[in-house]
Every structure is written in C-alpha cells, then in structure tokens.
Structure 1
Amino acid sequence: MKQILKTIIKDFHLKPLPPFKPRHLAVPLDLDKIITIIGPRRAGKTWYLFQLMASLQKLDIKREQILYLNFEDERLDLDTGYDQILDAYLELYPDQKLDELYIFFDEIQEIPDWEKYVRRLYDTISRKIFLTGSNAKMLSKEIASSLRGRSLSFEIMPLSFSEFLSFKRIDSKDTDSTKNRAKIQNSFEEYLTWGGYPELVDMETRYKANILQEYFNVMLYRDLMDRYEIRDASILKYLIKRLIGSFTKEFSINKLYNDLKSRGIRIGKDSIYRLMDRIFSVYMVTYVEKYDPAVVKREMSNKKIYLYDNGIASAIRYAFSEDRGKFLENIIFTGIRSTTEAVFFLKNGYECDFAVFPETDKPILIQVTQTLSQDNLSREINGLEKAGKKIKNSRRLLIAGEVSVPSDSLPKWVEVKTAYEWLLECNGNNPGLTPGKNL
C-alpha cells in the first residue's frame, strides 16, 4: 500500500494542475484552521482545491509541499492504518519540514474515523489542512462535533449567475452594449431553466436532463439510502418528489401524513420528520420559515420549500413554460441563500416572498413576480407595504422577470429591478457563496 501511496503522491507532483475556471469563493490560506469545504455533489469542490493550490504556487509554495489525496481513488486501501500516508510522503521527501506541509484531503469521509486522524494531524503535524466531503457524509453538525472548534467551514454552491457568465466567457459588467446585454439575457434564460452546476455550462441541452437525473440518483441512493441505511426507496422517492413538487409553496407534514394514510401507506409522523431531516441534509431541497419574532412560533409554522438549484426541478418533473414564475422565485432564493441563511417569508392577510436580514445592513423585503404590470402592481406593492409596517426601517424591493409599468407610477419607497440585474448586483457584492461559518 505504501508504494501505491508514493506513486499517487509523486504522480500528482509531476503533473501540472488541471485547467480550471476560477470561482469567487475566498478561502484563507494561512488561518491555522482546518478548512472544510462542503456543498452539493458536483458543485465544484475538487476543482476549488486545485484553485487553492494554484494560489499557493503563486506564493512560491513548491508542489512538493502539497500533499493531495482523493479518497475516492479505488487504489487506496488504508485498513492497516493512516500513518502510512505520511510515511510514504517522507520516504519521497525526507527533508521536508512537516509543519510547512499543506495537506489537501478530498472526499475524506470515505475513510472511517477520519475526524480522529485529522485532529491528530492538526495537533501534531501541520495546521495547513484543507478538506472536502460529500454533503451527505460531512455535514456542518458533524464537523462541529468532531473537529471541536478547530475548523472553519465554507459552502460551495452551484454557480452564481455572475460565475455562470464567467464560465461562458461573457462580461457580466457590460450591461450597456446591445450585443453583450443580449448575451446576458439569453444566458439568464438558460440559467433559469437548467441552473448552475458547472458541468452543464457547455453541455448540449439534450443531455442536461439526463445528467441532472444522475445527480438526483446519486443523492438518493448514495447520500440518503446508503448513509442512513434506508430500506424502502419508494417512500423516500415519494417524499422527495412531493418536496420538489412543492417548491416555492408552503408545505405541511400533517397534510403529507394524511395523504400517505389515505393511500394505505403506514408510516408514523416521527418517521416522516426523520426522513425529512435527512432529505434536507443533502443540499437538494431546503425550506424557509415564516417570520415571527418568537423562535418557537417560527419553528412550529408551515415552511416554504425551495431548491438549491433550478436544474433539479427541470430534470425531475417540471414543464418550464407552465412554471416560469416559480423558477424565477426559486432562483432569487438561491441568490439570497448564497449570502445569508437569515431569510424568511411573511404571510398574514398579505404575502411577502422574502424578508432578509443581512448581518451588516438593514433588512430587505423582496417581492418576486414574473411580470410587473398594471394588473398586478397594486397587489405586489400592497404586500411590500404591509410587510414594511411589520419590519421597520427595511429596504423594499420588487424583482420581476419583465417590467411593463412606467417608473413614475411606482411609489418612491420601492425599488424595482429585473431578476438578472438583481442577481448580478447580489453576486457582485456577495460573490455567490456564503462567506464561511466558524464551526
């Protein structure tokens, strides 16, 4: 096994880093913390490690100072112990100072008791450790409990719209020229339908649904059924598809329980809650709580369901032309979620799609509509106005796919933006990814 490790390590050092397209996430290289990068499968975690390594090389860090292993490599069999990793490295580079070694472990959850090994490396060898893991096996709660304050965790999501344009080699800042603006608008239609998974950017459209369905199957079978040893795939599939079918809508577990009962499916409410928690853990679907100053009331109320990426809905079941408004609302949610988790909805005789509470700015109330016209203007304005009375000193924003009302017909207290304009503004100020959470 040691010889295989030496071959893998040396081969990596002799080959140039594979070409990659830079992401906007800013991860510190010298913080003396275990850096963990988590997020959906296929969102680009491995390629981001290569981006970090390229940054180190620009700082004159030699390739030999970088130890990289991908634990999904089928050649690796570490049953005899993990110390052989460093043994193999030191046989190749006996003069290397280990406290100057940068350790990159990809998909480390593939090895048992990885957290004990990483803690020992951090405490005794090097504090320059970078980890990635599949979202199903390396969740924030697990990192917090196993690494015990030694780590700083970052999320990497599918591409933000500005990153999507960058991957397509389109200047996101040039919205003035007719030609480039048309490119941005056309790309927005693609992004709205198929989402931002990096692999799909240059993929022919006819293959996109199949690839996204494969992502779905990996999350279903590997991240959920294998991890949690769930035997009944039919109930799990039913729950997931009900959640996806409810995206941008309120969701009631009581109603779901009664529906299952009426179909003759015997499952307790506690089991449904447990399965839901596991589904929410794998970065496929998530929820937003109804805003209330009382935490208990928020937790007891119905939730609104959203997807981390629009492509999943397109691939699984949705006819896009019939659901454009839902796709638009969901993509605005992904833009919000990329900058903060403090997002809620309001409903109390009126509706406001999002109430956002940034850490360093005043609250933002957001209403989303496919078309802003004279027909729906008063309804959308009314929701924002009443929400503004509940949440004082808030910025109030209308985001629309299309705007067909003159600006002088709008109250001065409301801002109106098209969806793609707002996404570019949002991604520009907060580059499409959460800034990281110290766990």
Structure 2
Amino acid sequence: MKTIIRKNYLNTLSVLKDKNLIKVATGVRRCGKSTLMMQFQDLLRAENPNVSVLAINMDMPEFRILAEKNWKEIYDYIIQHIKKNETNYVFIDEVQNVPEFEKLLEGLYVHPNIDLYVTGSNAFLLSSELATLLTGRAYEINVLPFSFADYLEFTEKTANPDRAFAEYVRTGGFPEAVRLSQAGNNFANEYLQTVFKNIYENDISKRHTIYAEESYQEVVDFLIDSVGSNVSAGNIAKVLSANKKKIDNKTVSKYINTLVEAYLFYKVNRYDIKGKQHLATQEKYYLVDLGFRNALLGKELVSDAGHLLENVIYLELKRRNHQIWIGKTDNLEVDFVVRNNEGYTQYIQVSQTVQNAITLARELAPFDKIPDHNEKILITMDYESGTHNGIKQINAIDWLLNP
C-alpha cells in the first residue's frame, strides 16, 4: 500500500504559503499531521531545490535534546540554523509540548525571514491560549483521518466500494490502523486501543485531573455509543448513576470537554431554521474515527448503522470545510444544516435506507417544514437516486466519492 497525498490539505497550505500567518495543523494524534507537513516540505523542495526548510520534531533523536530546553533556547537554536536574507520555512511538530510555546511562536512569527508551520494535538492549547495571544495571526487547518476516498486509494479496493465501505466503517481511517487491518482486524483494534491510551495519557490526564478513570471511560463509551443522538451532560449522569456509577452533571461536562479538546469528538450545536438562531441545548457529538467504536466497544456494524453513516457524512462535511449545525424546524430535526465556503446553505438528511415508505415519509417530513428554497438532500445507502418534490436522493458512496 502506498502513501496518500492529502491533496485538499496540501492545496490549503499552498494557498497560505508566504502569507503573514502561522499555519497551525491540528487534529487527533496519529491522524497524519506530521506526514502532511513532510509532504508539503517535499512540495517546497520540488518547486525550489535550494529552498531553506528547517523541520523540528522533538521525537526524532537529533532533536531530542531540544525537548529539555526552554522556549528561548529553542528560539535561539532556530535562529542560528536559518539562512539570512531569504525566506526560511520552519516546521515544529507537536508544539504544545514546548513550555511557554506561545512565546516561541510569537517570536518566530515576527521574524521577517520565517514562514512558520506547526502541528498540535490539543484544541484548548491551540484555540484558546493561542487565540488570545495571536488573534488574527494564526490559521488553523483541522486534519482528520483518511476519508473514504483516501481509504480506497490507500487500499486499492476500488473493485467493490460497497464492501470496502463496510470495512472502512469498521476499521476507520487512521493510516496505520488501515495498514494493519490488512493483516487482520485484531491488529488494527489493538493499535487503536494504544492510540486512545496515548491520547488519554498525553493530551488529557497530563492537563486535567481525572479522579475516577473508570467513570471517565464510562462517559467515553456512552458518547461513542450515542453518535448521532442528542445528548446532554445531565442525561449521561442520570444513566450512569442508574447503573451504579455515581457521577454528577458538572463532572460529565468536564469530561466531555476534555474529549473535544483532544479532538476525539466534535461537538455540533443545534440551529433553529425558522427562527434563524443558534440553540444552546441538546447538541450532538460525532466521533473523530469510527475505528475507535469497534476497538473500544466491540460493536457490530449492524448495530445503529444509520447513526454510523451519519457520523461518516459529518466528518466528510468537515473535510470539505463546511459550517455544520443540527437543524430544528418546529418539533422536527434536520440532520445537518450546512453552509459552504461560498455562503450557500444546504439541508441534509441521512438514513441507512428509505425503501420502506414510512421511513421515507419520516425522513422527508422535516424538509416540508422548511420555508426557504435552499437545496435539500437525502443521503442513503440505497442504490436508488432521483428527486422527491425537488428533494434530491443520493447514494452515500456516490456522494462521498464525488464532492
């Protein structure tokens, strides 16, 4: 299997090249951020063989000594190793591991000969603390594991995309998990369990005090099992307490925030379509990679297939840089209200199948309550496509592979 060129992310980096911004690639650990940056470095060298590139990865032996240094010593090291009177492209992997890293970034940002690129695996560090210091100076590129199109290219399983999609939902899109799955799903599962443990130890427990690890894991399992469903901290606390796992709303809310900060889950808020206002209750959470579901819960695909498909569609919408909300219209729900980069709005419903007339009517009903004429799409795994009173029905695999 080959290395996949992450074209969309590389295109974004190319557009931002030499712009007066810190390019910040964020995302869950092991999703491919470092590989992306190496691919971009290769692109820079292909354009100009004499380009000055300085890439620092604290995990590499030649840079391990820097991991013990303070931010000023690392800054001095970088300044000593760049060329004068030309643009130097400086890359720093997992920058949040540098003590007082924001001072390092600010110093490098104002240097006239540096175009700065960094990666990080913690949303709080890179969106809250950085935002205060570097408002308007940083551009965040959120990197996700492989899309289904990436998965097909990586595995070369293009002959039977339906079967490949089932395997993708089971294995997920972490590059190494996909590679290991070729030797057996147990290898991929063990790898993903290790990834989760690594995220917990490095991005969560080091920063937050987790008093009851068992209760924390119960919250993780609950959220994984509830992708695509409306949840609240109060509801989770009530369910866990009923199962003899005593925990309060505040603790559940704190635990969920740590999972979002580590990019394990993405929170999606609700939007009142008729009232045109954002709502603060009954949000949904989508898992960054469905491989975790199989690895941590051991759930079969047939269990909740519709919500798993919804999770896949959400992640693809995010890859396409759309703004995404859960839609509310009267007492009905639209799975996704989407606004693209050009400002156009779409309404999307996701269902595993609508071959049953009752199911079809249920999925179309929220569209009938929407007063405007923005595009309305029904995405299913059914082979049938067409329209229902102007509402497009599209096969999910066709939609995923033909943006």
TM-score normalised by L of structure 2 = 0.87
Q: Return the alpha-carbon distance in structure 1 between the equivalents of residues 193 and 329 of structure 2.
A: 34
Give the superposition deviation at 1:146: 3.2
Question: Contact 1:372–1:403 at 8 Å: present in 2 too?
Answer: no
Q: Which has the higher strand share?
A: 2
Give the superposition deviation at 1:278: 1.6
Q: Return the alpha-carbon distance in structure 2 between the equivalents of residues 421 and 78 of structure 1.
A: 46
State the partner residue of 2:398: 421
**Bigger mean CA deviation after superposition, 279-288 or 142-151:** 142-151
Match of 1:395 among 369, 375, 379: 375
Change in Cα spacing, 1:259 to 1:91, as seen in structure 2 (3 Å) is closer
Match of 2:189 among 173, 196, 209: 209
State the partner residue of 1:316: 296
Residue 362 in structure 1 maps to residue 349 in structure 2: no
TM-score normalised by L of structure 1 = 0.80
State the partner residue of 1:233: 213
Residue 76 in structure 1 maps to residue 56 in structure 2: no
Match of 1:224 among 204, 208, 228: 204
Change in Cα spacing, 1:379 to 1:129, as seen in structure 2 (3 Å) is same
Question: Contact 2:310–2:351 at 8 Å: present in 1 too?
Answer: yes
1:291 aligned counterpart, secondary structure: strand
Question: Contact 1:335–1:423 at 8 Å: present in 2 too?
Answer: yes
Question: Identity of paired residues, percent?
Answer: 26
Question: Contact 2:95–2:101 at 8 Å: present in 1 too?
Answer: yes
Aligned positions, number? 388
Whichever of the two has the greater Rg, that structure is 1
Residue 153 in structure 1 maps to residue 179 in structure 2: no
State the partner residue of 1:7: none
1:226 aligned counterpart, secondary structure: coil
Q: Return the alpha-carbon distance in structure 2 between the equivalents of residues 253 and 347 of structure 1.
A: 24
Residue 208 of structure 2 aligns with an amino acid whose one-letter code is Y
1:68 aligned counterpart, secondary structure: strand
Query: For structure 2, which runs of at least 5 residues remain unmatched after alignment?
Result: none
Question: Contact 2:347–2:375 at 8 Å: present in 1 too?
Answer: yes
Written as runs of structure 1 = structure 2, the 5 A alignment for 1:48-87 is 48-62=36-50, 65-73=52-60, 75-77=64-66, 79=68, 81-82=70-71, 84-85=73-74
Written as runs of structure 1 = structure 2, the 5 A alignment for 1:88-237 is 96-97=83-84, 99-124=86-111, 126-135=113-122, 138-169=125-156, 182-203=159-180, 204=182, 205-206=184-185, 207-237=187-217
Cα deviation code 1:68-119 (max 9, x no counterpart): 11023463245555555576667778xx316522211111211101110221
Question: Contact 2:124–2:261 at 8 Å: present in 1 too?
Answer: no
Q: Return the alpha-carbon distance in structure 2 between the equivalents of residues 283 and 90 of structure 1.
A: 32
**Bigger mean CA deviation after superposition, 344-353 or 23-32:** 344-353
Q: Over aligned residues, Cα RMSD in angstroms?
A: 2.7
Question: Contact 2:33–2:143 at 8 Å: present in 1 too?
Answer: yes
Residue 307 in structure 1 maps to residue 287 in structure 2: yes
Q: Return the alpha-carbon distance in structure 2 between the equivalents of residues 288 and 362 of structure 1.
A: 19
Q: Return the alpha-carbon distance in structure 1 between the equivalents of residues 112 and 68 of structure 2.
A: 21
Give the superposition deviation at 1:361: 4.4
Q: Return the alpha-carbon distance in structure 2 between the equivalents of residues 361 and 86 of structure 1.
A: 40
Residue 383 of structure 1 aligns with an amino acid whose one-letter code is P
**Bigger mean CA deviation after superposition, 371-380 or 153-162:** 371-380
**Bigger mean CA deviation after superposition, 270-279 or 44-53:** 270-279
Question: Contact 2:272–2:278 at 8 Å: present in 1 too?
Answer: yes
State the partner residue of 1:16: none
Q: Return the alpha-carbon distance in structure 1 between the equivalents of residues 192 and 347 of structure 2.
A: 32
Larger relative contact order (C-alpha < 8 A, sep ≥ 6)?
Answer: 1
Q: Return the alpha-carbon distance in structure 1 between the equivalents of residues 169 and 252 of structure 2.
A: 31
Cα deviation code 1:118-159 (max 9, x no counterpart): 211222353311111123564322321233332211111111
Residue 283 in structure 1 maps to residue 263 in structure 2: yes
Q: Return the alpha-carbon distance in structure 2 between the equivalents of residues 91 and 380 of structure 1.
A: 62
2:205 aligned counterpart, secondary structure: helix
Change in Cα spacing, 1:383 to 1:61, as seen in structure 2 (3 Å) is same
Q: Return the alpha-carbon distance in structure 2 between the equivalents of residues 195 and 78 of structure 1.
A: 32
Q: Return the alpha-carbon distance in structure 1 between the equivalents of residues 335 and 17 of structure 2.
A: 38
Q: Return the alpha-carbon distance in structure 2 between the equivalents of residues 315 and 329 of structure 1.
A: 19
State the partner residue of 2:29: 41
Cα deviation code 1:290-317 (max 9, x no counterpart): 2226688611x21223212221112221
Q: Return the alpha-carbon distance in structure 2 between the equivalents of residues 98 and 109 of structure 1.
A: 29
Change in Cα spacing, 1:192 to 1:101, as seen in structure 2 (3 Å) is same
State the partner residue of 1:4: none
Residue 353 in structure 1 maps to residue 341 in structure 2: no
Q: Return the alpha-carbon distance in structure 1 between the equivalents of residues 365 and 277 of structure 2.
A: 28
Q: Return the alpha-carbon distance in structure 2 between the equivalents of residues 400 and 267 of structure 1.
A: 38
Question: Contact 2:84–2:113 at 8 Å: present in 1 too?
Answer: no
